[in-house]
Amino acid sequence: MWIRNLFVSLLVWALVAGPALAQVTGPITPIGPVCVDTTPSVDVRRSLFVTELDVVQQAISLEDVMSKLASDSADPAMSPKRLWKQWWDTQNEAESGIGLGSNCDDVVNSQGEPAINGFPIQCPRNEGDEVDANPFIPGEPSFYEPLALVNRFDLAPRDGANCGEYRIIFARHSGVTEGFNRNLVIFEAVLPNPNPNCGLEGCRMVARFWQGLSRTTDPAIRAEALRRFYLEGFPSRGIPPVIHAKHFGPGSGQIRTNQFMSGDHNQLWQLREFKLSQLCDAETGSCSLQFVPVTVKGNPFGELFDASIGGEPRTRQFQRHYLTQVENLSAADLNEFFAAAPDRFNAGQSNSQQGENNYPAHLEEDPRFQRTLTERLRFLGIRLDPEHLARRSLALSCAGCHQLSNGAPNNDLGGLTWRPSLGFVHVSEQQTDVIDGNEHFRISPALEEVFLPHRAEIFERYLDKVSCSDCRSIVLESDASGGMLPIPVEVEAGFTLDDVTEKVRALDAELKAGDSGDTIGGKRRVH
């Protein structure tokens, strides 16, 4: 056993170090030409979107993730189960809540509806019952099993401000046999650049780690390497663990959910977003690590497309802004069109059922806005119609990408045809495929045919650019991201959900100020 462990350790070191980088402990020093011919060879299902059961199920568990986050809190009272309960209690009303944080009815909008960012949210949700479930017992319906480990190096900014996102997707085991009792969560961590003085070149060790997985045939060794990458990092190389409380906080990553659980409340298929935040009492200074519900990015509230409804003062502001996005939305590539939107227009939920998120249907009710969009399109010489723009915005939203853009007419984007999900998800807990003799969780046509080929092209292009003078910098301390906790958010005693979401959103925006949004994979941040 010790021989195998030694072999794994040496392999992991080799994956991280790469052929042209050596550990350096001195100041930045120029060196002679290296010019190594890497000839990038990337297996998409090993190096970009890992769904092989023998790998993901050995690599990590939800208990591993929640235990690591609880440990990061440095709060002796914090436990994985306590953090889990606090998370899902945000979807209960205060009257039935367990008192660990905010609840979904803490704030109401001008119509008296529970709200985030002033837009209505469903409250309570059936998923609030997860406060009484144990997600850590294998085989139980409430167990959350890992489906995928995801490399989003394509989301690295061109200036190397970070090294992209690294994700884990978990699914509630009940969904394997109960199609109407499903819940999925995805942890999306932003990984700091271990050598920020080197710009994007400082991320090469991270990229080489993932590239090396393509050459590793033993699933157990790949699982162990990924486990270390996610839970321990590589301190001697300055690379912190992916699972690190700060990597999900303001200015960094996020946690998203895909919810459709049965129960006593109206069952509505919905997607939501959370930030892991350190909330500190303004009077006592005591702090608590909590999941905070925030707006769902890239998901403007549907009724903003229809000014004829009236009553929402942001509608005209949104429509004026939307006119500035016409060119961005008109790109003739499924991987390139996008729409930048200030967060003040984003809703607190994204519904894959009913009409709230059906942007084309809302636009159809506002002939004036349609005419204005038509004039803008004709002025720019773009041969699309307003409904094509609305369908493209829909495809960019969580609800659209997961369901509402599947099939006609919403998959007709004007010269482009949107590829479908698997009807609810992009990686399924219900179905598997055998690839090269190994069982994998099934992925969607949209992933397989559109998103992953694009990501592979971006990743291989980066790997192919071999510098003739590798950037050598001081190796950082093991805590490369400067502390284990997100930047504190100060709240008053008896804070409400509105207090928290507004403060977290403002801090997130402040920390991201000046970010052009331009990544090596393009300006689209979703999918």
- The domain ranges of the chain are 2-298+427-511, 302-404
Q: What is the pLDDT of residue 151?
A: 98
* Share above pLDDT 70 across residues of the chain, in percent, rounded to a whole number: 87
Q: What is the pLDDT of residue 5?
A: 55
Q: Is the pLDDT of residue 53 over 90?
A: yes
Measured over the CA atoms of residue 268, residue 269, residue 273 and residue 276, the dihedral's sign is: positive
Q: Once rounded to an integer, what is the mean pLDDT over residues 53-75?
A: 97
Eight-class DSSP state of 244: -
Residue with tokens 């969009």: 373
Confidence of residue 27 (pLDDT cuts 50, 70, 90): very low
pLDDT in tens, 311-324: 899 999 999 999 99
Q: Is the pLDDT of residue 471 over 90?
A: no
Q: What is the pLDDT of residue 468?
A: 53
Residue with tokens 């059961």: 53
Let me know: does 134 contact 78? Beta carbons within 8 Å: no
Q: Is the pLDDT of residue 479 over 70?
A: no
Separation between Cα atoms, residue 415 and residue 198, nearest integer Å: 41
Let me know: does 189 contact 169? Beta carbons within 8 Å: no
Separation between Cα atoms, residue 339 and residue 324, nearest integer Å: 9
| Burial class of residue 412 in the structure, from the number of CB atoms within 10 Å of its CB (0-12 exposed, 13-18 middle, 19+ buried) | middle
Q: Is the pLDDT of residue 475 over 50?
A: no
Q: Is the pLDDT of residue 4 over 80?
A: no
Q: Once rounded to an integer, what is the mean pLDDT over residues 109-136?
A: 96
pLDDT in tens, 144-192: 999 999 999 999 999 999 999 999 999 999 999 999 999 999 999 999 9
Q: Is the pLDDT of residue 474 over 50?
A: no
Measured in whole angstroms, how far is the alpha carbon of residue 282 from the centre of its chain? 30
Global confidence as pTM? 0.91
Q: What is the pLDDT of residue 24?
A: 31
Separation between Cα atoms, residue 314 and residue 43, nearest integer Å: 46
Q: Once rounded to an integer, what is the mean pLDDT over residues 28-46?
A: 62
Confidence of residue 521 (pLDDT cuts 50, 70, 90): very high
pLDDT in tens, 490-508: 776 666 666 787 788 788 8
User: In one letter, which amino acid is 156?
Assistant: A
- The least confident of 107-116, 320-329, 482-491 is 482-491
Write out the two tokens for 298: 């890239």
Eight-class DSSP state of 420: P
> Which of the listed ranges 282-286, 430-434, 472-476 does the model predict with the highest average pLDDT?
430-434
Q: What is the pLDDT of residue 478?
A: 38
Q: What is the pLDDT of residue 31?
A: 37
Q: What is the pLDDT of residue 467?
A: 59
CB atoms within 10 A of CB 3: 7
Separation between Cα atoms, residue 253 and residue 481, nearest integer Å: 13
pLDDT in tens, 183-239: 999 999 999 999 999 999 999 999 999 999 999 999 999 999 999 999 999 998 999
Q: What is the pLDDT of residue 505?
A: 79
pLDDT in tens, 439-467: 999 999 999 999 999 999 999 999 998 65
Let me know: does 274 contact 291? Beta carbons within 8 Å: yes
Q: Is the pLDDT of residue 354 over 50?
A: yes
Separation between Cα atoms, residue 168 and residue 72, nearest integer Å: 18
Give kind and range of the element (H or E) at residue 278.
strand 270-281
Q: Once rounded to an integer, what is the mean pLDDT over residues 460-477?
A: 66
Separation between Cα atoms, residue 90 and residue 78, nearest integer Å: 17
